[in-house]
Structure formats: C-alpha cells, structure tokens
Amino acid sequence: MFGNMGDLSEMLKGFEQQAQSLKDELAKKTFSVKSGGGMVELTLNGNGEVIDLNIDDELLSDKDSLQILLIGAINDANKMVQQNQQQSAMGMLGGMNPFGGSK
Amino acid sequence: MFGNMGDLSEMLKGFEQQAQSLKDELAKKTFSVKSGGGMVELTLNGNGEVIDLNIDDELLSDKDSLQILLIGAINDANKMVQQNQQQSAMGMLGGMNPFGGSK
C-alpha cells in the first residue's frame, strides 16, 4: 500500500520535527481563564502547563465555592488548550504534503 | 506514494473509531495527584477532566502556599494524563495494521 519504507521514515522524521517546533510555538502562547466572575484566574501556556493562579481572598472563607470554581477553571482551561493544540496540529499537518516526494 | 485513496479513507475511518473508543476507555480511568503531603488532592479522569478537588483547611490561611501547591498538583496531574494518553494511543496504533488490507 505504501510506495517504499524510505518515504515513510522520511515522512515520520518530518512529523517529529514539525511536532517539536509546534510544541515550542505552543510554549510561547498563554491562555487565561477566569471563573466566579474573576475570583479565580488561571493562566496556562499552549502546552497546558499552569504558569499562574490567582485566588480572591474572599474565597478563602468559602472552601466549597473555592473548590467548585477551581475545578471549573481548570476544566475550561484544559479544553481551551486542547482545542488550540488540535487547531495548531491541523495547521501543521495541512502544511505538510505526505503525497509529494520529500527528496 | 499511497496505493489508492480508498485504502487511505478506510484507514482514517478506522483511526477515528479507534480514537473514539480510546476516549471512552480513558473517561473511565481516574488519576489522583497529591501535593504538599496531601494538603491538596486532585482527581482527574483519563481525558484530563478534573472530577474532584480537596484542599486542607489549613491552607485557607496561607494563600501563597495554596496557590503554589495547586499549580504543582495541576501540572503533575496533566503530565500524568498526557503520558497515559500517549501510551494508550501507542497501544491502539500498535493494534492497527496500516500496511495490511483492511477489507
């Protein structure tokens, strides 16, 4: 089904390089998510690493609300990061042409 | 380079089905991460959705430590989920044989 294995390994190498440069690009991006009208603010980079978290003092006296708002912020942030990763990966794959010769 | 497009679309359809069943499997798995010797405990499913969060009352009087321990727990948990997703995907890809006929 595939022409020859050489093309395939060449293609996979290309994928790996593109994936690494994509990861570097994503590391520079930041996403900020707020919940509870800003009482919790979570900042992540494009690889989903949390780089900052701010909790309003008021929440320190209401642990249940604090936990609920944190769970909401983390899940919203992870969804945003995953969507962005998928779009970036699609953009990357669109740029590559697995059908053309790579030599 | 590819034999014919029919094989490719068949293969992609197979990937999609496998990816969906993988996602369903991951949703059933849970991961629990503790930081600060258990003062913060975060539970996620295999798709990275937070399903539970417990914060020790003691941390409510030390916001800086609370925020640091939360950031640590979230990042550890996301790493664990990503590694598990990659292993599961590798296992899934290993099960498929893109070179063999799929009819």
Give the pLDDT score at B70.
98
Residue B92, chain A, CB below 8 Å: the answer is no
The more confident residue out of B84 and A6 is B84
Burial label, A15 (beta-carbon count in 10 A; 0-12, 13-18, 19+): middle
Which residues in chain B have their CB less than 8 angstroms from residue A61's CB? 60
Q: For the segment A71-83, what is each residue's pLDDT rounded down to a tens digit?
A: 999 999 989 988 8
The more confident residue out of A96 and B32 is B32
Interface test with B, best of A33, A78, A80, A90 (most B CBs within 10 A): A78
Residue A95, chain B, CB below 8 Å: the answer is no
Name the packing angle between helices A63-95 and B63-95 (round to 10°): 40
CATH class of A27-95: alpha beta
d(CA A102, CA B83) in angstroms, rounded, equals: 31
Which residues in chain A have their CB less than 8 angstroms from residue B53's CB? 67, 70-71
Please give the structure tokens belonging to residue B55: 């914060």
Q: For the segment A24-83, what is each residue's pLDDT rounded down to a tens digit?
A: 888 899 999 999 999 999 999 998 999 999 999 999 999 999 999 999 999 999 899 888
The more confident residue out of A76 and A16 is A76
Check CB contact under 8 Å for B57 and A66.
no
CATH class of B5-95: alpha beta
Give the pLDDT score at A97.
55
pLDDT of A99 over the 70 cut: no
Q: Please give the average per-residue pLDDT across A6-31, as a whole number.
A: 85
Which residues in chain A have their CB less than 8 angstroms from residue B75's CB? 49-50
Of A3, A19, A26, A25, which Cα lies nearest the Cα of A98? Answer: A3
* SS3 readout for chain A: CECCHHHHHHHHHHHHHHHHHHHHHHHHCEEEEEECCCCEEEEEECCCCEEEEEECHHHHHCHHHHHHHHHHHHHHHHHHHHHHHHHHHHHHHHHCCCCCCCC
Give the pLDDT score at B103.
43
Q: For the segment B24-80, what is each residue's pLDDT rounded down to a tens digit?
A: 888 899 999 999 999 999 999 998 999 999 999 999 999 999 999 999 999 999 899
**Could you tell me if the ipTM is greater than 0.85?**
no
Where exactly are the structural domains of chain B? 5-95
- Please identify among residues 60-89 of chain A the ones whose CB lies closer than 8 Å to any CB of chain B: 60-61, 63, 66-67, 70-71, 74-75, 78, 82
d(CA A94, CA A12) in angstroms, rounded, equals: 15
Q: Is A53 in contact with B70 (CB distance < 8 Å)?
A: yes
**Rounded alpha-carbon distances, angstroms, from residue A93 to A45, A89, B46:** 21, 6, 26
